[in-house]
């Protein structure tokens, strides 16, 4: 469900909004006024946030979209590119833009002034002189390959873009889909919708105001995806998937009336981390977080810091919260944590090894406190829950204390 939401927001909703504006809301006379502002604002924002957030993906994708839009307006504007240079520029843009966007989405972020950042620039910049070279009369044979009919498919013949461009879009969508399935990410989802917007720009049947708006919308989707991703990083812990301490602070400010707060700490975590390493420690934290989410839900669970977690129970007393916390404590204790063998095969063998992977019993200590009304300082309740947590640890661990 979260992956589906990640894919739809914000790109899907932005594109649907622009399509609705163009189709039903905006009168034709207002379109030219919007084109004078919208693309420049979006492309400027893409360059700014690319530099500001050190996102070379965004910066280079913005450049690709802006250059493609300006080139098409310069050489192929009108009711449709028919022949000569206009047709070559159009075909080249229809092939290169989706492949560039897919490539940028697939390569890990490494900044600008790095070997990989410069390599991206070295791949993108030569494409301009290559397209210019294809426009020369002596390269007519190569240029003809851009609209070579690959298969005899009747319903494809009426589309404004040629089959090589359709193939390029198919490959691009395939790559981005694989990337998203392997690691659902807001920015990769943004690249998916940017590809859709680019396809719409090239299939409008006319290069002009509408195509420019779709190119700009592709850029806007990527800009908003980067901003949304930065927001999520601030409010969602990357390791465990739980909400962060900053999100906890804001949630505490919204509380009113009675509520309970529980502080949860993994027992002997430092010793475990020192003995088995940080990777095993990360696995352990993810496992505890998964149990916490399964038993207590996602909305009220937070990673407080290190091996410590926090849970809010709005509208509940200590007596209401303790049964849920006991279920969590027993669930963690019952789950034997298997340590991963660094030499284990990538695929699970059909027959399990008789030796088996070493396992550890994991327990948590929990302290819980209660806020009586709106006048109660939430930080004092957190402090009281933390003190209860230390009482649980001093009393032998693996228990709930008040």
* 164 and 310 part of one domain: no
What's the pLDDT at 110? 64
What's the pLDDT at 346? 47
Q: Is 148 exposed, middle or buried (0-12, 13-18, 19+ CB in 10 A)?
A: exposed
* 251 and 169 part of one domain: no
In a domain? residue 349: no
What's the pLDDT at 39? 95
What's the pLDDT at 4? 61
Query: Phi-psi bin for 365: left (phi > 0), alpha (psi -120 to 50), beta?
Result: beta
- Final residue belonging to a domain, choices 209, 235, 261: 235
Domain tally for the chain?
2
Domain of residue 187, residue span: 2-235
In a domain? residue 353: no
Per the prediction, the chain carries an average pLDDT of 87
Query: Phi-psi bin for 257: left (phi > 0), alpha (psi -120 to 50), beta?
Result: left
Retrieve residue 309's tokens: 């977690």
- Final residue belonging to a domain, choices 235, 258, 281: 235
What's the pLDDT at 370? 93
* 170 and 129 part of one domain: yes
In a domain? residue 184: yes
In a domain? residue 345: no
What's the pLDDT at 375? 67
Rg, the chain, Cα only = 28
* 201 and 257 part of one domain: no
* 231 and 249 part of one domain: no
Contact 291, 323 (CB under 8 A): no
- Final residue belonging to a domain, choices 213, 235, 257: 235
* 372 and 291 part of one domain: yes
CA distance 111 to 53: 9
* 182 and 288 part of one domain: no
Helix axes 209-235, 245-253, angle to 10 degrees: 90
To which H or E segment does residue 368 belong?
A: strand 364-371
Instruction: Report pTM.
Output: 0.80
In a domain? residue 348: no
* 189 and 284 part of one domain: no
The CATH number assigned to the domain holding 269 equals 3.30.70.270
* 127 and 32 part of one domain: yes
What's the pLDDT at 176? 94
In a domain? residue 294: yes
The mean pLDDT values, 10 residues at a time, for the chain of 402 residues are: 65 88 77 88 94 88 96 85 83 96 83 71 90 92 89 73 94 93 87 96 88 95 92 88 92 86 94 89 92 86 94 93 94 79 50 55 94 81 95 94 92
What's the pLDDT at 96? 97
* 249 and 231 part of one domain: no
* 160 and 38 part of one domain: yes
What's the pLDDT at 344? 47
CA distance 56 to 45: 13
* 311 and 379 part of one domain: yes
Contact 332, 288 (CB under 8 A): yes
In a domain? residue 139: yes
In a domain? residue 346: no
């Amino acid at each position: 469900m979260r992956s589906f939401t990640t894919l739809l927001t914000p790109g899907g909703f932005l594109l649907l909004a622009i399509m609705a504006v163009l189709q039903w809301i905006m009168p034709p006379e207002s379109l030219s006024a919007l084109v004078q502002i919208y693309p420049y604002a979006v492309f400027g924002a893409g360059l700014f946030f690319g530099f500001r957030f050190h996102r070379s993906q965004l910066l280079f994708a913005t450049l690709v979209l802006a250059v493609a839009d300006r080139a098409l307006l310069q050489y192929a504007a009108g009711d449709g590119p028919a022949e000569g240079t206009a047709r070559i520029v159009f075909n080249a843009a229809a092939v290169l833009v989706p492949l560039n966007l897919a490539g940028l989405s697939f390569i890990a972020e490494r900044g600008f002034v790095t070997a990989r950042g410069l390599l991206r620039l070295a791949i993108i910049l030569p494409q301009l002189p290559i397209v210019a070279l294809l426009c020369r009369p002596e390269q007519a044979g190569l240029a003809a390959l851009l609209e070579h009919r690959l298969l005899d498919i009747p319903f494809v013949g009426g589309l404004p873009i040629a089959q090589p461009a359709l193939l390029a879009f198919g490959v691009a969508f395939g790559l981005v889909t694989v990337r998203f399935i392997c690691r659902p990410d807001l920015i990769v989802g943004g690249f998916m919708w940017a590809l859709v917007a680019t396809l719409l720009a090239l299939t409008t049947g006319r290069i002009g105001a509408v195509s420019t708006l779709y190119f700009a919308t592709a850029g806007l989707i990527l800009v908003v995806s980067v901003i949304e991703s930065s927001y999520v990083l601030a409010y969602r812990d990357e390791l465990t998937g739980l909400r962060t301490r900053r999100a906890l602070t804001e949630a505490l400010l919204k509380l009113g009336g009675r509520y309970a707060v529980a502080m949860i700490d993994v027992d002997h975590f430092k010793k475990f981390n020192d003995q088995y390493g940080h990777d095993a420690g990360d696995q352990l934290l993810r496992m505890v977080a998964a149990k916490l989410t399964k038993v207590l839900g996602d909305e009220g669970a937070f990673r407080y810091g290190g091996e410590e977690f926090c849970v809010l129970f709005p509208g509940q007393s200590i007596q209401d919260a303790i049964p849920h916390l006991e279920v969590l404590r027993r669930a963690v204790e019952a789950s034997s944590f298997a340590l991963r063998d660094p030499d284990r095969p990538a695929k699970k063998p059909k027959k399990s090894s008789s030796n088996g992977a070493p396992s550890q019993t994991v327990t948590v200590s929990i302290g819980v406190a209660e806020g009586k009304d709106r006048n109660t300082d939430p930080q004092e309740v957190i402090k009281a829950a933390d003190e209860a947590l230390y009482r649980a640890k001093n009393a032998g661990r693996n228990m709930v204390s008040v």
